[in-house]
Copies of this chain bind each other. A is one copy, B any other.
Amino acid sequence: MIDKLIEKIIATNNPSVIGLDTDISYLPNEMKNKINSLEDGAEQITEFNKNIIDAVCEIAPAVKVQIAYYEQLGVAGMKAFSDTLKYARQKGMITIADAKRNDIGSTASAYSRAFFSGVEINGKRYIDFDSDFLTVNGYLGSDGLNPFIKDCKEYDRGIFVLVKTSNPSSGELQNKTLTEEDGATLYQQVAKLVKDLGKDLIGSYGYSDVCAVVGATHPKEAETLRALCPNMFFLVPGYGAQGGTAEDLKVCFDQKGLGAIVNSSRGILCAYKAEKYKGMDYVKAAYQAALDMKNDLNRVRG
């Protein structure tokens, strides 16, 4: 699946992903005013997402759908999550389910069925949350990741394992030095695990289907990781609303300008609220913000 993502990045000349972390509070008032229940909320969010996807599908390669914002709307929200993924795929976009799943082997297999392989009933495969990529958390070690990796091979999918996250307190554990590992930090050790687990899934651009999440807010760590893991593709959150700039994340790209895809969520979805895009409706503002992001990233990558 990583080859397909890279081909799409090349075709659109755009290394960015549109984050659909759609909260009710992001919607324009005329949509908010129609909401009197979780079902209404899920319906308006689905419509909002579809309009955003229509606006950006020609210029951006992928969407990242953050499941927490749908889960908070309950069962109806999960339907909105499913419908959003389906619509993005229908419009030719690569889909990333941002769910940071993690568990013991047998349970990780159930999660992998939820997002990748589906449940078999009387010989037929059923799946509601079908995604090209899934984010996962590696705290449980390799046997919590292997079920996903098995399905990456069998069903042509990819995973992004949390290596160095974008949040302010990410260093509390991730930047600790491991005595047994000659001064490697925890995030570097997770990167090593990801590298080892992904070595048999390297595609034609030199990148593996087993990828990493590396925050734009930590450029020093990103630079270290880029050098340590030449076959590891990065999903880079933290650009825009969280404070990361294009200059910060320049180090995530390789010499060909590949190797990373940068996410923006609020910066696109709420663009219509920004001074810069004043007078535009949310669809036009999102399109313009996505275009500005593309140009900003292309300015810095090789």
Contact = CB atoms under 8 A, between A and B. Distances in A.
The quantity of this chain's copies bound in the complex is: 2
A195 interface: no
A180 interface: yes
Interface stretch (A168-176, A222-230, A271-279): A168-176
Interface string A111-122: 101100001011
Contacts of A208: none
Contact of A167 (B40, B104, B186): B104
Interface in A158-199: 162, 165-174, 176-181, 183, 186, 189-190, 193
A74 B129 contact: yes
A295 B44 CA distance: 52
Contacts of A73: 119, 128
A69 interface: yes
Contacts of A119: 24, 38, 41, 72-73
A188 to B, nearest CB: 11
Given A114-B71, A121-B37, A169 B140 contact: yes
Given A139-B139, A141-B167, A173-B193, A110 B179 contact: no
A144 interface: yes
Nearest to A83: B75
Contact of A141 (B24, B102, B173, B190): B173
Interface residues of A, number: 73
A174 B203 CA distance: 31
Contacts of A113: 72
Interface of A: 21, 23-24, 35-38, 40-41, 66, 68-69, 71-79, 82, 100-105, 107-108, 110-111, 113-114, 119, 121-122, 126-129, 137-144, 162, 165-174, 176-181, 183, 186, 189-190, 193, 237, 242
Q: Which 8 A-B pairs have the closest CB atoms?
A: A74-B128, A141-B169, A141-B172, A68-B110, A104-B167, A177-B179, A143-B169, A71-B114
